[in-house]
């Protein structure tokens, strides 16, 4: 199988045995199996091309109705990153103060302080934003100015599902180019404070924060990279 065929899974199913197809896809499976959450980083800022390539991989994720409800803020500015850590830490201390005297909270306090601010050693933090949207039924009802109280579609939370797929792709894309990442929800208990710092405006909101460090012409159109990513340096 030549490189072009390998890039189009299934293109030559009739000629290749299952084992040959599996063998040809070995590099992809190695990336899927080899990604691990990394929580300690060397200080040098990774080349922008690598970070952007990983983000481009994120934008190849599927999304409900191809809404692409994601944006990426790349924070490579040490001052902004330090302030992110400070805001998360302040929020943790406020919550821990409320729990003062609680034996279990006392025991996990230091763990929590560390766990929620692990991104402090990352040279680059990628904040992933998403915005919620209604699926097909919600859109149909809205167009006709109708309401259906029992619409259970919202529970599927297509935006959260879609942005999660993008974060997964982001991590795999980063791993494929030698960058390490960790997906983090813990800092989000300071979501409002981080929104203010990073100029995140409604309806956008922070999804979990990833950190680090081919255009598919056959698939549906994707927003241009410069429309979904912004750097803070
Ligand atoms: C939705 C989600 C939230 C996570 N939040 C955190 C987090 O806040 N802090 C952290 O250190 N790891 C976090 N992780 C990473 C998981 O701990 C990690 O993926 C899991 O232990 C499996 O390890 P692996 O990624 O190396 O395979 C999160 C992962 C996911 C998918």
Q: CA 176 from chain center: how many Å? A: 16
**pTM (2 decimals)?**
0.85
Q: What band does 215 get if pLDDT is binned at 50, 70 and 90? A: very low
Average pLDDT on 135-156 reads: 82
Pocket test for ligand 1, best of 37, 108, 191 (most atoms within 8 A of CB): 37
Whether residue 26 is contained in a domain is answered as no
Whether residue 29 is contained in a domain is answered as no
CATH number of the domain residue 211 falls in: 3.40.109.10
Q: CA 24, 28, 29, 34 torsion: positive or negative?
A: positive
Whether residue 128 is contained in a domain is answered as yes
Which helix (H) or strand (E) segment is 73 a member of? strand 70-75
Q: Closest residue (by CA) to atom 5 of ligand 1?
A: 184
DSSP string, 127-160: EEEE-----HHHHHHHHTT---TT--GGGG-HHH
Quote the number of domains for the chain: 1
Burial class of residue 171, CB neighbours in 10 A (0-12, 13-18, 19+)? buried
Q: Is 208 in the pocket of ligand 1 (CB under 6 A)?
A: yes
Whether residue 175 is contained in a domain is answered as yes
- Residue 168 burial (CB count, 10 A): 17
Whether residue 114 is contained in a domain is answered as no
Whether residue 149 is contained in a domain is answered as yes
Residue ranges making up the domain that contains 58: 38-81+119-232
Q: Closest residue (by CA) to atom 30 of ligand 1?
A: 183
Statement: residue 7 has pLDDT above 90: no
pLDDT in tens, 81-139: 999 999 999 999 999 999 999 999 999 999 999 999 999 989 999 999 999 987 778 78
Whether residue 104 is contained in a domain is answered as no
Whether residue 3 is contained in a domain is answered as no
Q: What band does 216 get if pLDDT is binned at 50, 70 and 90? A: very low
């Amino acid at each position: 199988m030549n490189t072009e065929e390998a890039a189009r899974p299934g293109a030559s199913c009739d000629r290749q045995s299952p084992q040959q197809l599996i063998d040809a896809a070995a590099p992809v499976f190695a990336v899927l199996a080899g990604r691990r959450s990394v929580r300690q980083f060397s200080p040098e800022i990774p080349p922008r091309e690598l970070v952007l390539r990983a983000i481009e991989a994120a934008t190849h994720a599927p999304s409900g109705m191809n809404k692409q409800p994601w944006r990426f803020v790349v924070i490579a500015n040490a001052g902004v990153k330090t302030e992110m850590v400070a805001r998360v830490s302040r929020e943790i201390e406020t919550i821990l103060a409320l729990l003062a005297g609680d034996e279990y909270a006392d025991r996990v306090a230091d763990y929590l302080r560390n766990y929620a601010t692990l991104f402090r050693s990352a040279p680059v933090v990628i904040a992933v934003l998403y915005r919620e949207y209604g699926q097909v039924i919600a859109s149909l009802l809205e167009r006709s100015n109708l309401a259906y109280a029992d619409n259970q579609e919202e529970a599927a939370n297509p935006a959260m599902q879609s942005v999660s797929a993008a974060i997964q792709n982001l991590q795999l894309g980063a791993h494929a180019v030698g960058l390490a990442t960790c997906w983090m929800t813990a800092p989000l208990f300071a979501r409002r404070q981080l929104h203010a710092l990073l100029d995140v405006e409604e309806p956008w909101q922070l999804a979990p924060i990833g950190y680090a460090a081919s255009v598919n012409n056959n698939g549906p159109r994707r927003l241009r990279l410069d429309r979904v990513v912004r750097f803070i340096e």
